[in-house]
Structure 1
């Protein structure tokens, strides 16, 4: 399956999690250091908008990736901008244009498939962040963070894509310095599944709880 469709699957899983966020949840702590759940969603929606603009040919404009101001229904904002990004990636797959991503290294331009892979990782990891932040408040068909992990690990193509891109993320003092996207990697537990391994490699404790 093409990476752009795996990204669409990842977005569907993320939307299913975020759809369970309610306004009273936004002040909860999240696995992202010093970020509340509301701050995390502002970041996610801003990234949706920035990547969609890049997929449509925008230049290296950092302002396009700014955190978004959420409306009264943050889940709806996430769903709407996520669908727009999926559409932008599908349209961009026709010519596989390179994307300018000014937040990453020198800004690029990055090959199309690499940019899609970056956001696939972002989507699944932040979906886990949201599910972990919600904890027991997350109900519905998907369940909690463990159920999200299981859903990804059952899909070999999606789990392999997640882990392959994650393993390519540099884990150097410069790349994982304070203020960077990821913390220094942790040692995955023996026998850990692909999603848990990806979380650990990106500096997250798969056992984190709010």
Structure 2
């Protein structure tokens, strides 16, 4: 009898962070005020949210509750977002390098779960927010389609349309053709206008 290898989400998570880092590096200070498809954020606030998520992942790695930290970091200079993201990413990678973190229970804003489930969820969040950032700044060609395919599969399972309320990060599904590009289908599924 063979056993399935245990899923380690850190590789996909790193790919999502690589993609996000490329989008951040390409973002110019004059683009920071642009609206994003994520209704809560302009580009500056979205960048602050992405860094805040990394801080939350470090915080939960030492037993903290992610809800104890702000959802958006706001004290970063307009030309320092790339460096701030790289620094926070390094902290996350060091905090999650130990394989034991994957099975440790961590508390996120939406519940308590094993670390591997949390990293999967944040892989998909970074994938969606990379699209938000790329859409706002006109850099959609720089996105990795495989990440969108994985994220869409996860969101279909964990964010079905019939369980969405009036409040929350996802709106009603926007209809697009079945042969639309992966990020178009992902954005539309989450209620964003692709």
- For Structure 1 versus Structure 2, the TM-score category normalised by the shorter chain is 0.7 to 0.9
- In the comparison of the two structures, how many residue pairs are matched? 186
Q: CA deviation at 1:175?
A: 3.3
Q: Which residue does the alignment assign to 1:147? A: 142
Q: Which residue does the alignment assign to 2:164? A: 175
2:8–2:116 CA contact under 8 A, matched in 1: no
TM-score norm. by structure 1 comes to: 0.77
Where do 1:108-147 residues align within 5 Å? Answer: 109-135=112-138, 144-147=139-142
Provide closer, same or farther for how the CA distance between residues 47 and 176 of structure 1 changes in structure 2, counting only shifts above 3 A. farther
Provide closer, same or farther for how the CA distance between residues 94 and 74 of structure 1 changes in structure 2, counting only shifts above 3 A. closer
Provide closer, same or farther for how the CA distance between residues 115 and 147 of structure 1 changes in structure 2, counting only shifts above 3 A. same
Q: Which ranges in structure 1 are unaligned for 5 or more consecutive residues?
A: 136-143
Deviations 1:82-136 (A, max 9, x none): 23223333335555212100x21xx3x112222111100111111111111112x
d(CA) in 1 for partners of 2:101 and 2:45? Answer: 34
Give 3-state SS (helix, strand or coil) of 1:67's partner.
Answer: coil
Q: CA deviation at 1:68?
A: 0.9
2:8–2:102 CA contact under 8 A, matched in 1: no
Q: CA deviation at 1:177?
A: 2.2
Give 3-state SS (helix, strand or coil) of 2:98's partner.
Answer: helix
2:51–2:84 CA contact under 8 A, matched in 1: yes
Q: Which residue does the alignment assign to 2:23? A: 17
TM-score norm. by structure 2 comes to: 0.83
Give 3-state SS (helix, strand or coil) of 2:104's partner.
Answer: coil
Q: Which residue does the alignment assign to 2:89? A: 82
Provide closer, same or farther for how the CA distance between residues 57 and 39 of structure 1 changes in structure 2, counting only shifts above 3 A. same
Provide closer, same or farther for how the CA distance between residues 97 and 34 of structure 1 changes in structure 2, counting only shifts above 3 A. closer
Provide closer, same or farther for how the CA distance between residues 43 and 119 of structure 1 changes in structure 2, counting only shifts above 3 A. same
Deviations 1:14-46 (A, max 9, x none): 101101122222111111225211111111111
Superposition misfits of 4+ residues, deviation over 4 angstroms: 92-95
Q: Which residue does the alignment assign to 1:44? A: 50
Task: From 181, 185, 189, give the equivalent of 1:193.
Answer: 181
d(CA) in 2 for partners of 1:116 and 1:166? Answer: 14
Q: Which residue does the alignment assign to 2:192? A: 204
d(CA) in 2 for partners of 1:78 and 1:62? Answer: 20
2:102–2:116 CA contact under 8 A, matched in 1: no
Q: Which ranges in structure 2 are unaligned for 5 or more consecutive residues?
A: 1-6
Provide closer, same or farther for how the CA distance between residues 95 and 133 of structure 1 changes in structure 2, counting only shifts above 3 A. closer
